[in-house]
Every structure is written in structure tokens, then in C-alpha cells.
Amino acid sequence: MSKRFYVTTAIDYVNGQPHLGHAYEKVITDVIARSHRAMGEETFFLTGTDEHGQKVQQAALAAGKTPQEYCDELAAIWQALAGRLGLSNDDFIRTTDPRHEAIIQAILAKLEQNGDFYQAPYHGYYSAKEETFLTEKDRREDGTFDPMWGPVTELVEENYYFRMGRHQQWLIDHLEANPDFVAPSYRRNEVLGFLRNNTLEDLCITRPKERLSWGIPLPFAPDYITYVWFDALVNYASLPGLRGDPVVIEALGPWLPQDGAFAPNPDLQLWPADIHVIGKDILKFHAVYWPIMLKAMGLPLPRQVLAHGWWQKDDERMSKTTGNVVDPIAVIEEWGLDAFRYYVTRELDIGPDGNWTDAGFAARYHAELANGLGNLVNRSLSMLNRYRQGIVPPPHDELRADVTSAVATVEGLLRGHSLQAALIAIWRLIDRVNQYVDQTAPFKLAKDAAQAGRLDEVLYNLAESCRILAVLLWPFLPETAGKIFAQLGLADTPDRWELSQWGGLAAGHQANKPVPLFPRRDQPAA
RNA sequence: GCCAGAGUAGCUCAGUGGUAGAGCAGGGGACUCAUAAGCCCUUGGUCGGCGGUUCAAAUCCGUCCUCUGGCACCA
């Protein structure tokens, strides 16, 4: 079996509530995963939760629970979110999975043996009140720290460091030789600019156990706990490893537990990842630290780090304190899952920041989903039922060229992960088919018995266009695509690109009666 | 402060030397299968300011203004 297309989201820190940004990242990654699957690639889509760290430790303590109990409860919330978003993820990694921890320890042991680590004092400003180190960025202009931190003292503690400096040049070379390694291109430029103009400092990768106990101990120094880098980031490779990915198993072989738990599985070739979908805030970790870590581990680099932007609400940063937030679950409950998936993918291209407005959401819902797509399917099937009792006439090719051309365009855009552009192209086809209804006026043809043959032709073109639209929409709107197939009386699922071939509807096929896909919400039901 | 990017119709944006474009919103019309949806037509801009190069500049150059992003241990 060949290597699968492997796509990931960032894993989310459990000590927080899911918000629009999380939901957005997962939806666009799901669209990418579904489109690759539809086009016949074996695909693996991974998401998950980051569960270690001091904040989780403290929150668990405050809640009177063990950290593991606390994480189990929160991980369930995040997994439920994945379900509510209709994600087609193939697995869900939790960094508290003992197998993940075993792989982390194998990696740490290997790098220690290779001389990638060293011990040194860590100097920092420490807030005892918040039990955290502060950075220069936390200083105010006059050099003092915000009173929220309480008394701030300068503290020195021993820690382990990861040597990064020696990796600077090849990483620059790699970015120059692989223009798609970081996307969009302006993010790549930022990373290159950073690498060219700064000297990489070594990375502090531990915290002393007395300060951070909820995490993975260094196998060669159990009084130290791995800090986030060699824990959370590694999930992308540890999940393949714990499921037997041969590349990961081979790189870590001698350092893994030799009890047979990590037997290679040649049928699951995942690493290297094809795309890491992340937010722009964690670009540097993924485009600088992570490749260097992988190189040290002896693993190939991912093919692409794709950084998306952030959402604002009404041109202002979303903030819990002001209540200026979009709750994705509430939107889905009010408008439906596919309406949510459509808006976030259509409104915002992957890269720039976006702005959520409730008015914009309602406008797209009505203009594009209800009046455009929904009404087209409804009027097409309504006429097929009214004039032909829902029985599909013989195939006819009048719209074949338009549809085939749109399919090719959408396919190319999906392969390039231009999701917004793909939706725009799909809607151009919807507009074209709506235009066709007016140009051919089947409702007039139906009044003249002599035009029965022409009416058959038009009705076939409409029904077949709707069928193919379902296939194109599947990656974005899986519920809706399924409903269109169901209304057409098709038992199949529109999850394969080959179904977008013109002429799939057979003469004599019995379609069902239409039900509005996206009921209008701005007027009382008639 | 330094580096990068952007400023074009009410809104979102395309357009990189040759008579200003799209979608949405706004206005008008004909139709009626359909979720009072759809279709056709249409109003609307001294292309951020100033100066320069050119027969010709939204497009190239200079300068100024405004905004955005980045400037390492941030989940």
C-alpha cells in the first residue's frame, strides 16, 4: 500500500473553551481531507488535544480532580466538537495517551544520545502569584510588570536545552528550494526574513518537576518534565508511530519499548505529513522549531505548513470579557452545520484575517444557499415531479460542456487547496444552471404537448446538473450533498469524484419530491 | 524603530503601461417552475495625496499620509 495523504490540524489546549477559530481550522482541514479522499487518494486526517502543562495541572487541582480525570472530561468536549463539525478525522490524538508518551521518551532518549541536548541555567522573571515565567514582552514601557503578576523576582533554574543554531542554514536552504513549504507565500517570507536576520538560539525544552509535574519526564533525567515543544508538536509524528507507521518506527526503533507494542504496520504509511494546517500565531513553531526537531530525530520534513488567519467579529477582536464572540455550536444549532461550514469557507480565503458579521452570514445564507443552490434543486426536482412524475427522461447533453468545465475548474482549485475559489466556481455553475431554467422555460414547454421532447431534454439537464453539484459540494457541505442525492432518489453517497461524470442519471430513474435544503429564515413560513 | 504588504464603486475585492471591472447592496423590467426564489437591464469611482518618467500611468519612479502583518520560547 502506498503512502497516504496525511493532513493535520493543530491540537488544541484542553484548558479552554472551543471557539470560532478552532472550529474554522478544523472545518477547512476537513474540506481538504474530504476532497483528497473524493479524488481517490487514501487520506488520513488527524486532530486532537494537547493536555499537559501547568495550566491544566492548576485547573485540575482547583476543580478537586486529578489532572487525568480533568483531561478526560475536557477531551470529551473537544471530541464532541469534532462530531458537531462533521469532521471526517481518522483519529484523535491526546498527548496523555501512554503510547504518545512512550514515543516522546524514545525521541528524547535518541536526541540525548546524539548530543542534541545540554543542561544550563535558565534566567527569567518569575511571577510567584501566577507561577509562571515572564518575558521581556510582558514588561510595560517603563520596565515594570503589570500588577496582575504580583511580585516579580529574577529566578534562575537548571533546565535542558535543544541545540538549534547548527540547523539554521539548511532550513533557510530548504525554504528557498521549496517555495510551497510554508503557505501562503507572505508567511514564507516572514519565516525567511526571521531566519536570515536572527541567530537561532537554543530552545529551552524542560521545566523542573517541582514547578511542572503534569507532563512527560525526561527518560534520562526524571526530575525534569518536557515542556510543550517536545510534547505537543510531536503529536503529528507520534500518532503515526503509535499506529505502526514504518518510517517513524524505523527512525525510533532502538529507543522504543521492545515489547512488541510498536510493531511496524506496512499498510499505514503516513509520515511525512502532507499538510499541517495551523493558525498564524503558531507559524514559527511549525516552520522553524518543528522541522529542526524532525531533522534531529532523523525524520523527513512535512511537505507544507499552511497558516490560516484569525477571525474578528464586527471588526473587533473576539474577547470573552466583552462578550464579542461567535459560538460555533450556537450558530450550528440555529442555522445548521452546512451553513456554518459554508460561511467560514466562502467568506475567508486561507491566509488573511476575516471578519464575521451576523448580517453577512444571513446574507450569504439567503442569497447563496437558499436562493442559489437550494432553490435550484427545489425548482428542478419540482418540475421533474410535476411534469414527469419524478421519472428521469433519457440523457441529454445540453449542459454537459458547462458542467464538465466547472468540474475541471473545481478539481484544480481543490488540488491547490483554494477552497474559497472552488466555492466561487461551484456557484458560477449554480448561476449558469439557474440561468438555463429561464432560457429554456420548461414551465412554458409543459403547456404545449408538442414540446414534450424538448421538455424531457431540459428536465434531464437540470436533474443531472443537480446530481453533479452534489458531488462537487460534498467536501464542503456533506449533509447537503447527501440530501441532494436522497432527493434525487439515489442510494449512493456523493463522496467520489468519479460520480461527477456527466450522464450518470439513467432514464427511467425515479426521483423523490424536493424538500427545501436551506429554508429562508427572514420571513414567516408561508 | 526596522522589514514586508495594502490603500480601486456603499461593502468585499480583481485589474501591473494603451478608452476603469466583478460579486453583493441599490434602481428598473419581463416572467412564474421554485424557498415572493430565479432571469434580464441598470445607477455608481477625479483608482489614498502630491510630484516625476512616458505619446499614454490604477499600473513605472520619488515622496508623504493611513492601515495591516512580522520582528523567537506566545498554546
Is the model's pLDDT at A133 over the cut of 80? no
Name the pLDDT band for A456 (thresholds 50, 70, 90): very high
| Cell numbers placing A231 | 510534547
Is the model's pLDDT at A343 over the cut of 50? yes
Is the model's pLDDT at A460 over the cut of 50? yes
ipTM field: 0.88
Instruction: Say if strands A132-134 and A152-162 run parallel, antiparallel, or are unpaired.
Output: unpaired
Is the model's pLDDT at A129 over the cut of 70? no
Name the nt closest to A55 by C-alpha to C1': B75
Q: Is A131 left (phi over 0), alpha (psi -120 to 50) or beta?
A: left
pLDDT for residue A324: 76
A339 CA to B30 C1' distance (Å): 33
End-to-end Cα separation, chain A, in angstroms: 55
Report the distance separating Cα A455 and Cα A449, nearest Å: 9
pLDDT for residue A299: 96
Name the pLDDT band for A358 (thresholds 50, 70, 90): confident
A366 CA to B34 C1' distance (Å): 15
- Rounded to 10 degrees, the C-alpha dihedral A80/A417/A1/A252 comes to -70
Report the distance separating Cα A242 and Cα A483, nearest Å: 37
pLDDT for residue A166: 86
Element (H, E) at A312: strand A311-313
| Cell numbers placing A251 | 527512525
pLDDT for residue A132: 67
pLDDT for residue A360: 86
pLDDT for residue A305: 93
Is the model's pLDDT at A136 over the cut of 70? no
Contact criterion met (CB below 8 Å) for A462 and A384:
yes
pLDDT for residue A131: 62
pLDDT for residue A507: 95
A486 CA to B43 C1' distance (Å): 44
Peptide bond between residue A524 and the one before it cis (omega within 30 degrees of 0): no
Length of chain A in terms of residues written: 526
Element (H, E) at A306: strand A305-308
pLDDT for residue A116: 93
pLDDT in tens, A292-304: 999 999 999 999 9
A506 CA to B28 C1' distance (Å): 43
Nucleotides of B under 7 A from a protein CB: 3-5, 13, 24-25, 31-40, 68-75
Name the nt closest to A168 by C-alpha to C1': B72
Average pLDDT estimate for A474-498:
96
DSSP A264: -
pLDDT for residue A146: 67
Instruction: Say if strands A206-208 and A203-204 run parallel, antiparallel, or are unpaired.
Output: unpaired
Burial of A248 (0-12, 13-18, 19+ CB in 10 A): buried
Least confidently predicted of A264-278, A344-358, A443-457: A344-358
pLDDT for residue A518: 94
Could you tell me which residue, A129 or A173, shows the higher pLDDT?
A173
Average pLDDT estimate for A383-406:
95
In percent, how much of chain A has pLDDT > 90?
66
Is the model's pLDDT at A110 over the cut of 60? yes
Least confidently predicted of A40-54, A73-87, A122-136, A410-424: A122-136
Name the nt closest to A438 by C-alpha to C1': B39
Domains of chain A: 357-500 (1.10.730.10)
Name the pLDDT band for A357 (thresholds 50, 70, 90): confident
pLDDT for residue A524: 42
Question: What is each CA distance from A238 to A114, A117, A183, A277, A339, in whole angstroms?
Answer: 20, 20, 24, 17, 34
* Nearest residue (CA) to C1' of B12: A347
Least confidently predicted of A128-142, A156-170, A496-510: A128-142
Contacts of A89 (CB under 8 A, 6+ apart): A30, A33, A45, A46, A47, A82
**Mean of the per-residue pLDDT values for chain A?**
90
Average pLDDT estimate for A3-29:
91
Question: How many CB atoms within 10 Å of residue A63?
Answer: 12
Contact criterion met (CB below 8 Å) for A407 and A468:
yes
Name the nt closest to A193 by C-alpha to C1': B3
In a 13 Å sphere around the CA of A212, the CA atoms on its Cβ side amount to: 25
Question: What is each CA distance from A208 to A158, A202, A230, in whole angstroms?
Answer: 8, 18, 15
| Cell numbers placing A234 | 510531536
Instruction: Say if strands A5-9 and A43-50 run parallel, antiparallel, or are unpaired.
Output: parallel
A286 CA to B13 C1' distance (Å): 30
Least confidently predicted of A192-196, A329-333, A446-450: A192-196
Helix (H, G, I), strand (E, B) or coil at A40: coil
Is the model's pLDDT at A27 over the cut of 90? yes
A50 CA to B72 C1' distance (Å): 22
pLDDT for residue A141: 57
Could you tell me which residue, A179 or A340, shows the higher pLDDT?
A340
Question: What is each CA distance from A340 to A7, A317, A446, in whole angstroms?
Answer: 22, 20, 38
Q: Report how far Cα A304 is from the mean position of its chain's Cα atoms.
A: 14
Contact criterion met (CB below 8 Å) for A175 and A181:
yes
pLDDT for residue A183: 86
SS (H, E, C) A188-236: HHHHHHHHHHCCCCCEECEEECCCCCCCCEECCEEEEEECHHHCCCCHH
| Cell numbers placing A128 | 510567584
- Rounded to 10 degrees, the C-alpha dihedral A72/A9/A316/A342 comes to -110
Where in A30-136 does DSSP place strands (E)? 43-50, 91-94, 117-127, 132-134
Is the model's pLDDT at A525 over the cut of 50? no
Name the pLDDT band for A15 (thresholds 50, 70, 90): confident
Name the pLDDT band for A326 (thresholds 50, 70, 90): confident
Is the model's pLDDT at A526 over the cut of 60? no
Peptide bond between residue A184 and the one before it cis (omega within 30 degrees of 0): yes
pLDDT for residue A147: 67
Name the nt closest to A194 by C-alpha to C1': B71
Report the distance separating Cα A379 and Cα A331, nearest Å: 27
pTM: 0.93
Is the model's pLDDT at A489 over the cut of 90? yes
A518 CA to B35 C1' distance (Å): 8
Name the nt closest to A15 by C-alpha to C1': B75
